[in-house]
Structure 1
Amino acid sequence: MSAPLKKARAVFPIEEYESDEENIKDDFIGQTINVDFDAFKAEDGDYHGIKRLLTQSFRGLEVNVSPIVDIIISQNYVGSVVKQVNEDDEDDDDEDDMDVEEEIFGISTAINLTSRKDEDAVAELRSALVDECQKFGSDETNTFVRESLGNESKHVGLLISERLINLPPQFSMPVFESLIKEIASANKKGMAYDFTYFCMICKISKLKGKKGSKSKVEEIIWSNPEEEIFAEESIASFEYSVKGDSGLSGDWEDGDAEYLPWRRVIVFEANKLPSILCKVRQAIS
C-alpha cells in the first residue's frame, strides 16, 4: 500500500495531456454537473480520442501509438470506448453528423502480446517493455518477463484501462465487467484471448526526494486509484520514470510536496481478474 499523505497541499506533474478544449470557462467552477456516459464499440471516428489516451499510458516508451490504435479498432468486439450520452443525439437523424468526432472519456481493452508478436506495433511494444524491465527491474522480474513473453503456450494480454484525469474509479467498473464478458465470448469462438497473464501500465506519481531526507517511506499517488489494488495482486512489477514532463500544476510555495511522474508495469494472473474487481468494488462502494 502507498503511504498516506501527510500534507494537504501537493504539486502534481502535468503530463501534457492533449485536449481539444483550448480554454476552460470559469462559469461552471464549483457547480455539480450531471453527465451520462455509455460504452460503445470503437470505430474509425474514435481514432484520435483513443490515441490521446494511449499517448498518456505509453509515455516514456519508445513506441508508435498509431498502429496500436488501429489494432484496438480492428478488434472492437473486445473492449469499449466511453463517450458522453447526449439526449439530442438520439433524436438527430442528420447523416452529416456521422463524421463529427466525439470526445473519448475512457478506453478499455486487451491486446494479445503473444499471438500478435510478429506484428510490428506489438513487437515494438514488447521490446520497449523488455528494455525498461532490463534497466529498472530486478533480475528475477527480468527473467520472468522474458520467459512469459517467450512462452507461446501461455499468452500475455496487455490490459488497457485509461480515462481522462479526475474521473473517479467508479467509472472503470462497468467497462471492466463488460470486458470480462467480451473476452469470455471471444474465447468461446476460438479467438486468441485465453490469457495466462495480464500486463498493465499504471500511471503513478512519486514524491520528489529532498536532500538530506532519511525517510524510507515512499509516497505514491495512483492516477487510477483502483490500480493500486491490481498491484497488490501482481506477481511481478517494475517502474520507470517519465522524462520530459517539466510542467507542474497549480500554485505552490517553497516546501510544498512535489510529485514526479512514473510508470509502474505490473503482471498478474489473468484468472484473478474477477476477484480483483470484487476487491475494487468493495473499496469504492
Structure 2
Amino acid sequence: MSHPLKKPRAVFPEEEYVPEDSEDEEMEDECIGQTVNIDFEGFTASDNDFHGIKRLLQQSFRGLEVDVSGIADTIISQNYVGSVIKQVGGEDEDDEDEEEMADEDDADQVFGVTTIINLTSRKDEKCVSGLRSVIVEKCAECASDATSQQLRELLGDESRHVGLLISERVVNLPPHFALPVFECLGKELEEAKAKKMPYDFAYLILICKVFKHEKKKKKKNKTVQEEVWSNPEEEIIAEEALANFEYVLKGDKAASGDWDEDDPQYTPYRRVLLLDAKRFPEILNKVKRAVNQ
C-alpha cells in the first residue's frame, strides 16, 4: 500500500564536497532560510548542459570508478529521450540587482536530469562497458551470491535489455519534480520503440542516494538505524524492487550547514535497485498517489 512521502527536511544531509567557487558558497549561506519562487521546465539535453549533467552524475556515481564525462556525452548524444531541468522566467526579471549578480552560466544551470541508458546495446562503448563492470564488481562485493548471480545473468543476456535509469536533481527539490519528467520519459521511450530503436527494456537499474545514522530508542534502550532518502520517491520505488544491494561511501560523511555536537551524523550510502521495467508505469502510479496524499 502506498504511503505519504516524508516531508522535505529543513536542512538536508548533503555529502561533503569542495566548492568550485568560495564566493558561491558564501552566497548560498546568506540565502539559507529564504523562500524563492522559481519556475522550472524540461529541455532536451544539449552540449551546453555537459558540465551541469556531469556535476549531477557525480552524485550518483560516487564510490564507483566511472567515466562520468563519457556518460554525460552519451546522455547528450541520445537527445531523443530524457530531459534536463532548468530554470525559466522568474517574478523578479526587472530587478537590476539580480541582473547584475546573474551570469550567463547560471541561465543554463541544470537542476535535474532524467534519462535512461541501454547497458545492453551499448555494452561495447568504453564508458558503458566500464560502468557495467564496476556495478557487477560492487554487487559481487556487497550483495548476496544470489543477487550477484542474477545481475551477471541479466547483463549477459542480450535478448533482454537492461537500462540504467538516471534520476538526479539538486538537493531539496521535492519529489513532484520527478513525476512529470518520468512520465515524459515514458512517452519518449514508447515513441523510440515504435521507431524500432533499442529502448524496449526488460529490467531497469536505479542507483539511489541514502543516508543513515544510528538512533537510540530511549524507552527500549536499543539502537536503530534511521534512513533518509535524498530523492524521497525512490523509497517508494525501492519497495517494488526485484533485488537490491547497497554500499557505503567510505571516508565520506554527510554534512550541510553548521552542525551542533548533538546533531545526528549521517553516513552516505548508495542503494542499487533492480526493477521490472514492464511494471514501472504501475510503480510510478504508486509514487504519484504517495506524493499527492
Same fold (TM over 0.5): yes
Q: 1:149 aligns with which of 144, 151, 155?
A: 155
Structure 1 residue 77: Cα displacement = 0.6
CA distance in 1, matches of 2:20, 2:40: 19
Structure 1 residue 24: Cα displacement = 1.6
Structure 1 residue 14: Cα displacement = 2.4
Structure 1 residue 219: Cα displacement = 1.4
Q: Aligned letter for 1:280?
A: V
Matched, 1:265 2:266: no
Q: Aligned letter for 1:164?
A: V
Q: Which runs of 5+ in 2 are unaligned?
A: 94-102
2:227 is matched with 220
CA distance in 2, matches of 1:263, 1:269: 20
CA distance in 2, matches of 1:52, 1:70: 13
Matched, 1:111 2:148: no
CA distance in 1, matches of 2:150, 2:271: 16
Q: 1:70 aligns with which of 69, 73, 91?
A: 73
Q: 1:281 aligns with which of 256, 278, 288?
A: 288
1:129 is matched with 135
1:256 is matched with 263
Alignment of 1:4-153 (within 5 A): 12-16=13-17, 21-24=24-27, 28-86=31-89, 102-153=108-159
Q: Aligned letter for 1:14?
A: E
Whether the 8 Å contact between 1:157 and 1:195 is mirrored in structure 2 is yes
Q: Aligned letter for 2:115?
A: T
Whether the 8 Å contact between 1:9 and 1:256 is mirrored in structure 2 is no
Structure 1 residue 253: Cα displacement = 3.9
Structure 1 residue 142: Cα displacement = 0.4
Residues 244 and 102 (structure 1), Cα distance of their counterparts in 2 relative to 1, 3 Å cut: farther
Structure 1 residue 111: Cα displacement = 0.1
Q: Aligned letter for 2:256?
A: S
TM-score (norm. length: structure 1): 0.86
Residues 27 and 201 (structure 1), Cα distance of their counterparts in 2 relative to 1, 3 Å cut: closer
Q: For 1:190, what is the secondary structure of its paired residue? A: coil
Residues 13 and 244 (structure 1), Cα distance of their counterparts in 2 relative to 1, 3 Å cut: farther
CA distance in 1, matches of 2:10, 2:168: 26
Whether the 8 Å contact between 1:47 and 1:69 is mirrored in structure 2 is yes
2:244 is matched with 237
Whether the 8 Å contact between 1:45 and 1:99 is mirrored in structure 2 is no
Q: 1:181 aligns with which of 187, 196, 203?
A: 187
Aligned residues: 272
Q: Aligned letter for 2:17?
A: E
Q: For 1:24, what is the secondary structure of its paired residue? A: helix
Structure 1 residue 78: Cα displacement = 0.4
CA distance in 2, matches of 1:194, 1:216: 45
Q: For 2:232, what is the secondary structure of its paired residue? A: coil
1:105-160 CA-to-partner distances (Å, cap 9, x unmatched) read 00000000001011110110000000110010001100110001001001000000
Structure 1 residue 258: Cα displacement = 1.5
Moved more, 24-33 or 8-17: 8-17
CA distance in 1, matches of 2:214, 2:12: 10
CA distance in 2, matches of 1:164, 1:282: 23
Q: Which runs of 5+ in 1 are unaligned?
A: 89-96
CA distance in 2, matches of 1:79, 1:260: 31
Structure 1 residue 22: Cα displacement = 3.6
Structure 1 residue 242: Cα displacement = 1.1
2:170 is matched with 164
1:93-116 CA-to-partner distances (Å, cap 9, x unmatched) read xxxx99986100000000000010
Whether the 8 Å contact between 2:254 and 2:265 is mirrored in structure 1 is no
CA distance in 1, matches of 2:265, 2:11: 6
Q: For 2:225, what is the secondary structure of its paired residue? A: coil
CA distance in 1, matches of 2:137, 2:215: 26
Q: For 1:218, what is the secondary structure of its paired residue? A: strand
Whether the 8 Å contact between 2:44 and 2:82 is mirrored in structure 1 is yes
Share of identical aligned residues, percent?
Answer: 54
Matched, 1:192 2:198: yes
Whether the 8 Å contact between 1:204 and 1:220 is mirrored in structure 2 is yes
